[in-house]
Chain A
Amino acid sequence: MVYPVIRCVQEIPCDPCVGSCPKNLITMKDSILSLPEYTEGCLGCSSCVMLCPGLAITLVFNNYDPNKEKALVMMPFEFVNETVPLGCEVTTTDLEGNVVGKGKVVAVKTKESVDKRRLLLVEVPEKDKLLVAGFHIRDIYHGEPLTEDMQDEEDPIICRCERVRKSEIVREIRMGVRDMNQLKAVARPSMGGCGGKTCTDIILKIFKEEGVPMEEITLPTNRPLVAEIHLGDFVKKK
């Protein structure tokens, strides 16, 4: 037995699911703004999973495991093909993104008329089949805890991109640095992606605190704001 789990909570004018079902099993009571409802008799054709713009429908295959220990859940997937975790064990999540358990991606389904969406068949424990609404394409990495105090009031961070502290800038000013381009070279403030959009003014204040007259300071090269893009984006795609 197969059936869709429809997690639609959007009372908006949207009804592709209604038209997608060849047996007209998905209906809306009052208007196009209503939430869809399902009546028994699903063929398991997966059209609704393929079409729902909100990726709100999964399909549960109950007859997957004769021992009834496992079930198969079909989920839509809209990342690039290279990231399809076929054969991998993935962490499954519920509608809110909370971790449910583990699943194994056993098959991928595509449809010629559909451009990017893939349907992934994920084997999950029987008890999880109604909860599972998604999965992590890779395990969440929380990073290493910082070893130093980032909120040090005594010695605050001036350049956040490169994590340069005030003391490092003061040290260079006291060494005689007056050209802010050289300050960038030696202590790295403004060397990050933003190009000194915030720290330049703060550094000028530090020069002032150190008693350096403005006319002794050479301002840094002023560059427009840029967004970093991938090297691959410069190459013509085949």
Chain B
Amino acid sequence: MNNYDAIIIGAGSVGTPTAHFLSQKGLKVLVLEMRAASGQGDNKAAIGGVRATHSDPGKIQTCIESLKIFSTWEEEYGFDMGWKPGGYCFPVYEEKTEEVLKGLLPTQKNYGLKIDWINKHKVAEIVPGINTENLRGGTYSPEDGQVSTLLAPIGFQREAQKNGAVFQFNEKVIKYELKNNKLTSVITDKKKYSAGVVILANGADAAEHGPLLGMDIPVVPDTHEAGISAPVKQFLAPLIVDLRSGPEGKTTNFYFGQNREGQIIFCYTPKELFIGTDRESQSEFMPIIANRMISLIPRLQNLLIRRVWRGCYPMTPDGVPIIDFAPEIDGLFLAVGMCGQGFMLWPGAGKNIASLIVDKKPIISEEANNFFRYDRDFYAAKKEALK
């Protein structure tokens, strides 16, 4: 009885919604997770922002789907994923950022994103206490929101289980068997399984499976640090992204929001990347992010800081995930290299690949879907304007 229609490797932000959508389409699904439960990898290091505010059409369309799923999940399935609407706001203080963001608006709107430029008074209204000196205005996308990264994988898992999906925890894949370029079985430290299709969804560990499969999986993890405060009264509806580089020379941007529990959850993008999977916290993180947050919203100085942590961004060379059948191996689907956006992309992407696998067509446009192809040129000079 170790034969399944689909085996998903990894029960995180990618694997659990994929299990949900595949089992919903009637497939017999097995999820193999080396950790003790679902959602215990890098997905829980994510701060939970879900935005369709991207510059890449594939990401815009996929995240619009994600938002539909997250915002209606509780109504549909009765499980609370911690959805908090409120949008994303990118406050702008520099002329060049204003030009870039305004330049993106036509494309974003064209792909269905609800977004507009708002003036500084409107920014100050939706971001109470923001420093208005030199504030030029900003973008606001009211239909973006946030979800609990702690709850979402559990919600997807339980729904998948209702449809018969099997989850095996504490089980590590150690070998794949191939015959004539066809993936025939998956061998773990406990059992051997076979399936019509194997979906690799193991985040930061994806590249390690390259040698086991005999192919190149161009995913290199680097780490980002985040933190959370004690709860305070709800005052901040949108998530905030400040695209300015920090005066300390260490940050390229930073972002934060207030979750449904009332906690402020925050993160920055380091200027020099920390390559690898070392998840130890660093002493420089809090002083740097504290300076940035307080200079943007002075009243945040009163927050009590509860915890910090690091998590991996499984990066592809061009910063765009690989969501595609592996070209060299029959029966292998790659859902890897989420580049730190797996959580927000994946409900939409999971629905999309269930459609790709079962109905042989994407739910997003072919054009958008092509952005995620494995056979693209990863090293083309193409640069995403908004990562």
Contact = CB atoms under 8 A, between A and B. Distances in A.
Given A175-B158, A181-B36, A182-B37, A231 B229 contact: yes
Nearest to A195: B307
A235 B286 CA distance: 9
Contact of A185 (B44, B290, B306): B44
Contacts of A142: none
Tell me if A's interface is mostly helix, strand, loop or mixed.
mixed
B37 A234 contact: no
Interface string B209-249: 00000000000000000000110000000000000000000
Nearest to B40: A181
A195 B228 CA distance: 13
A221 to B, nearest CB: 10
Given A228-B230, A231-B229, A185 B294 contact: no
B223 to A, nearest CB: 17
A234 B295 CA distance: 13
B291 interface: yes
A177 interface: yes
Contacts of A177: 37
Interface stretch (B84-92, B180-188, B297-305): B297-305
Interface residues of A, number: 21
Nearest to A231: B303
A228 B290 CA distance: 14
Interface in A215-238: 218, 226, 228-232, 234-236
A186 B82 CA distance: 10
A178 interface: yes
A193 interface: yes
A185 B154 contact: yes
A70 B15 CA distance: 74
A182 B154 contact: yes
Contacts of B38: 182
A231 B301 contact: yes
Nearest to B263: A191
Contacts of B37: 177-179, 181-182, 218
Contacts of B230: 193, 228
Contact of A230 (B44, B154, B287, B303): B303
Interface string A146-187: 000000000000000000000000000001011101101110
B150 A186 contact: yes
Contacts of A178: 36-37, 169
A68 to B, nearest CB: 44
Contact of B294 (A182, A218, A229, A235): A235
A185 B151 contact: yes
A203 to B, nearest CB: 15
Nearest to A217: B36
A193 B229 CA distance: 10
Interface string B253-291: 000000000000000000000000000000000110011
A226 B39 CA distance: 25
Given A182-B154, A185-B154, A218-B36, A228 B287 contact: no
A235 B306 contact: no
Contacts of B36: 178-179, 181-182, 218
A229 B154 contact: no
Interface string A180-206: 011011100000010100000000000
17 contacts: A177-B37, A179-B40, A179-B169, A181-B40, A182-B37, A184-B150, A185-B151, A186-B151, A195-B307, A226-B306, A228-B230, A230-B301, A230-B305, A231-B290, A231-B300, A232-B294, A234-B290
Interface of B: 35-40, 44, 150-151, 154, 158, 169, 229-230, 286-287, 290-291, 293-294, 300-307
Interface of A: 175, 177-179, 181-182, 184-186, 193, 195, 218, 226, 228-232, 234-236
Given A226-B306, A234-B305, 6 more contacts: A177-B37, A184-B150, A193-B304, A218-B36, A230-B305, A235-B301
